[in-house]
Amino acid sequence: MLSRRRFVQLIGALPFLSTASQARADQGGFYYKGPLSDHFDGQRFFNPGGERSRSFVDFLHWQLSKRAVAWPEAYPSPFQDTPPARVGKRDLRISLVGHATFLIQIAGHNILTDPIWSERASPVPFAGPRRYNRPGVPLDRLPRIDAVLISHGHYDHLDLPTLASLWKRDQPVIMAPLGNDAIIRAHDPSIAVTALDWGDRAEAVPGLEVIVEPAHHWSARATNDRNHALWASFVVRSGGRSVYFAGDTGFGGGLHFEAIAARHSDLDVALLPIGAYEPRWFMVPHHMNPDDAVRAFRILKAKSALGYHWGTFRLTDEGVDQPPRDLATALQAGGIPARRFIAMRPGQVWTA
């Protein structure tokens, strides 16, 4: 029999019916309608040539049989950042707020990726993954934001309360993959969202180019909307500098990384997820482990890499500090200096 605590954990891990259901109703049952493509079959998005995502039955098997490594009550970061209002026209400064939220300050522009300042990555306040450390940049120290990049619709990446607060404060340009605009507007119809497909290019603000690239992942916010919104990664360019943000992705045989490397041969830095990867039998299509991330780094040929998606929200079974230890092992095995690929902590700053 399940304990009460285990039951709450299981419920917190399930996708919930939420405002997303209204978004589906408003579009006749789907977030997006459009022409067929190599990653859209008319109803659902998919990973072309990729491994299938795990089923709900697989999910239940994992949840009911899991043997997770215990986390401490808290995992505070030793860093806190107070970023400048802007950086210079040729400068690049990146700080990790937490999980997949980066503040990218590039050539005078301020960008946020997958912003979440909420205490839980969940549609409800009483269950679901909670923070183990505070945001590395307090919201009241955040400079004015020009653009927000949303990689996909999972609750740990698309946090609607945070997005609504940012919109009210700064009205940034918000860019998201196809279908995610319906989710956001269902929460707050006043929020303007630019919905983009893989391969699209757009000028977020003058002098700041955003290119939408593939990722190997999936999407859902409710029990009946699986893969009805797209997932993506991004390359941002300005002032002769370039940053790749992988979003949330599995390695997927490396195919999408090879395609991205062919189009972007001069990346200053690749932001790559290194956490939420155990048990491997379940997570391999969804999330990279550090060994996968190092392989992706080699393919991309970026000058540097920053690791994220670990240590803030407990999503999977590995220990809180296992990702940086596994990353160190993978880098050593590959003969890559540790300084070239850093497992970032909230509030930590990287400059180039």
pLDDT one-digit tens code per residue, 265-300: 999 999 999 999 999 999 999 999 999 999 999 999
23 pLDDT band, cuts 50/70/90, is low
Could you report the per-residue pLDDT of 138-194, keeping only the tens digit for each?
999 999 999 999 999 999 999 999 999 999 999 999 999 999 999 999 999 999 999
- Report the chain's mean pLDDT, rounded to a whole number: 92
- pLDDT band at 15; cut points 50, 70, 90: very low
What is the tens place of the pLDDT at every residue in 287-333? 999 999 999 999 999 999 999 999 999 999 999 999 999 999 999 99
Mean pLDDT of 92-116: 98
What does each C-alpha distance from 241 to 26, 104, 162 come to in angstroms? 40, 11, 28
Question: What pLDDT, in 10s, does the model give residues 46-55?
Answer: 999 877 777 7
> How far apart are the two ends of the chain, measured CA to CA in Å?
54
CB atoms within 10 A of CB 118: 19
Query: Contact 77/346 with Cβ under 8 angstroms?
Result: yes
For the chain, how many structural domains are there in total? 1
Dihedral sign for Cα 116, 120, 123, 124, please.
Answer: negative
pLDDT score recorded for residue 19: 42
Containing structural domain, residue 22: 4-351
Higher pLDDT, 249 or 224: 249
Report residue 24's pLDDT band, with 50, 70 and 90 as the boundaries: low
Q: How confident is the model at residue 11 (pLDDT cuts 50, 70, 90)?
A: very low
Q: In what order do the strands lie in the sheet with 92-98?
A: 193-196, 173-177, 147-149, 109-113, 101-106, 92-98, 349-351
| Range 188-195 contact pairs with CB under 8 angstroms and sequence separation of 24 or more | 188/160, 188/164, 191/163, 191/164, 191/167, 195/32
Cβ pair 306, 338 in contact under 8 A: no
Q: What is the DSSP letter of 252?
A: G
What is the predicted pLDDT for the residue at 2? 45
Q: What's the average model confidence in pLDDT over 31-41?
A: 97
Burial (Cβ within 10 Å: 0-12, 13-18, ≥19) of residue 38: exposed
pLDDT band for position 56 (50/70/90)?
confident
pTM of the shown model: 0.93
**Side-by-side strand order, sheet with 269-273:** 201-205, 208-213, 233-238, 241-245, 269-273, 304-308, 341-343
What does the pLDDT look like over 236-261, one tens digit per residue? 999 999 999 999 999 999 999 999 99
CA 127 to chain centre: 21
β-strands 349-351, 341-343 pairing: unpaired
**What is the mean pLDDT of the segment spanning 191-214?**
98
pLDDT score for 146: 98
| 97, pLDDT greater than 90 | yes
Q: Quick one: how many helices (H) and strands (E) in the chain? A: 9, 14
pLDDT of residue 88: 98
CATH (domain of 221) = 3.60.15.10
When pLDDT is averaged across residues 27-32 and rounded to a whole number, the result is 73
